Amino acid sequence: MNVTDGDRPIDPIVWHGPMMREALARRDIGRVYQLLQRCGVPQRQIAARTGQGQSEVSAIVNGRQVQAYDVLERIADGLDIPRGYLGLAYSDDAVARALSSGSHGAEDDFMQRRGFLGLISKIVMGAALTQPELDLLAVGPATTPIPAHLGATDVDQVRALTAALRSYDAAHGGGSCRDAILAHTHWTQSLLHASATDDVRTRLLSAIAEAKTLAGWTAHDLGLQSDARRWLGQAVRDTREAGGPVHTAIVLYHLGRVPLDNDDPAEALKLFQLGQIAAQDSHSSLAVSLLLTHEALAYAHLGDTRQAMTALRRAEDEYAHATDDQHQELLRFFDHAALQTSAARIHSHLGLTDAAHRATAMERLRRALDQAPVDRVRQRAFNLTWMAVCTLAEGDLAGGVALGNQALDAVRAVQSTRLLDHLKPLQEQAGRHSGSDVQQLHHEVRLLRTAA
């Protein structure tokens, strides 16, 4: 502004003196007015330019503090003080010019940085931001550039991050990390555009399949069956292209779990049997055991006790011969605790109608709860749920209620739709008994499942 009210304009050089710059940086407006008076600018001119009364200017000179953001803006604009000197945001027009300038030169970049510092100051002082100021903080959908050449170390880093996300999923459920897993999966897929040796490209395809398997598994954990099938279908294709039959078997195990956990054991059985072909081709006893275990579980869901027990015995025999399996790293999730959990689930399903299997299930569940690593929270929740079901079915209502409440606490700690679905047997079993405690458990399970 150049409102002079009959007085000469204020020389811009006034604002560059060290004492003035120090006062402006501290927002000591009283000191600023004093220094202006020393330069020959009277109080009435300051008042006219800033829209203040002369008595108000005098009060500021004599120690009244100026803290209101809008008053500071009016003072800066009225006296032609560069806003950045007071740590103020620039006007919307100035911000818009800074935004449109990009990085077209040092001067434009300087203006943008000054505007940004003023904007931060405005936020700290509690002033509302205008839309152009909000735009200055907006982050665009920029993507990370892929490396020109990919090496073995890059692939190792991809697999390490997948492993970390897999651990987080096991501890907290698919809902806790799905977005991060999807972003990671899209990034790994983009690495196919980088140049690489044939060996590195093969390893990359395998790493991509691991990421896609995790993306599919978290989708399954959240009840997103179509997404789960698509991601896992892509992973099957990638493992085939990479030439890794053991990896194909692992993906087919995950793919079979989707229909199995959604009340379609017949389709699951077909996928597990396809996985068994790949597992046999890989000569991995661990992979064979994994697929046989889940064939047995599918048979248990179908009510075929004979086939279920035959497949389980074969699975345990294969596992016993897998001590020197060269694919242990890929199958690290299928350890003895996981085998015990799967076996316990088989006996638990059969135990709903057969007391002998129920007793075996409870023994297996105890072992699984003792052996499972503490970070497998979701697996622990599954096992506690089935332990509660079997205990209630045995007539031990107090023990079943205690285990059921432990199971509910574990389920609440994990973001997993699949876990909530697996509470159905507990809800049904609790509903078969009278008594205030067991009925309260039934009520709590029903509320939790209904809310989801």
Please give the pLDDT value at position 226: 95
Contact between residue 251 and residue 209 where contact means Cβ atoms under 8 Å apart:
yes
Tell me what the pLDDT averaged over the chain comes to.
87
User: How many helices (H) does the chain have, and how many strands (E)?
Assistant: 23, 0
The three state secondary structure string of 409-443 is HHHHCCCCHHHHHCCHHHHHHHHCCCCHHHHHHHH
- The CATH architecture to which 335-452 belongs is Alpha Horseshoe (1.25)
- Asked if 73 contacts 103 with a C-beta cutoff of 8 angstroms, the reply is no
pLDDT tens profile 183-193: 999 999 999 99
Give the domain ranges of the chain: 12-137, 335-452
Please count the CA atoms within 13 angstroms of the CA of 447 that sit on its side-chain side: 8
- In this structure, are residues 322 and 289 in contact, taking their beta carbons and an 8 Å threshold? yes
Exposure of 25 in the CB half-sphere (CA atoms within 13 A):
7
Long-range CB pairs of 254-259, under 8 A, 24+ apart, other chains included: 254/213, 254/216, 254/217, 254/220, 255/216, 255/229, 256/294, 256/298, 257/220, 257/294, 258/220, 258/225, 258/228, 258/229, 258/232
What H or E segment, with its residue span, contains residue 203?
helix 198-221
Backbone angles phi, psi at 195, to 5 degrees: -75, 145
Model pLDDT for residues 140-153, shown as the tens digit of each residue: 666 678 888 999 99
C-alpha–C-alpha distance, residues 365 and 367, integer Å: 5
Measured CA to CA, the distance from residue 316 to residue 310 in angstroms comes to 10
Cα 424 to Cα 4: distance, rounded to the nearest angstrom: 81
Is residue 155 within 8 Å of residue 204, measured between CB atoms? yes
pLDDT of residue 311: 96
DSSP character for 84?
G
Q: DSSP letters along 363-391, please?
A: HHHHHHHHHS-TT-HHHHHHHHHHHHHHH
Q: Residues 67, 73, 78, CA angle at the centre, nearest 5°?
A: 120
3-state secondary structure of 88: coil
pTM score of the predicted model: 0.69
Of 132, 57, 52, 127, residue with least CA distance to 86:
127
CB 411 within 8 A of CB 382: no
Residue 28, exposed/middle/buried by CB under 10 A (0-12, 13-18, 19+)? Answer: middle
- Compute the distance between CA of residue 203 and CA of residue 312 in angstroms, rounded to an integer: 33
> What confidence score (pLDDT) does residue 103 get?
47
Measure Cα distances from 310 to 9, 116, 300 in Å: 99, 70, 11
pLDDT tens-place values along the chain, 452 residues long: 444 444 667 877 788 788 888 888 888 999 999 999 988 899 999 999 999 998 999 999 999 998 888 888 889 888 988 877 787 766 655 555 555 555 444 445 544 566 677 777 778 777 777 777 777 777 766 667 888 899 999 999 999 999 999 999 988 888 889 999 999 999 999 999 999 999 999 999 999 999 999 999 999 999 999 999 999 999 999 999 999 899 999 999 999 999 999 999 999 999 999 999 999 998 899 999 999 999 999 999 999 999 999 999 999 999 998 876 677 777 888 888 889 889 988 998 898 888 889 899 899 889 888 887 777 888 888 899 999 999 999 999 999 999 999 999 999 988 888 888 889 999 999 999 988 999 999 999 999 988 76
At residue 325, the pLDDT reads 67
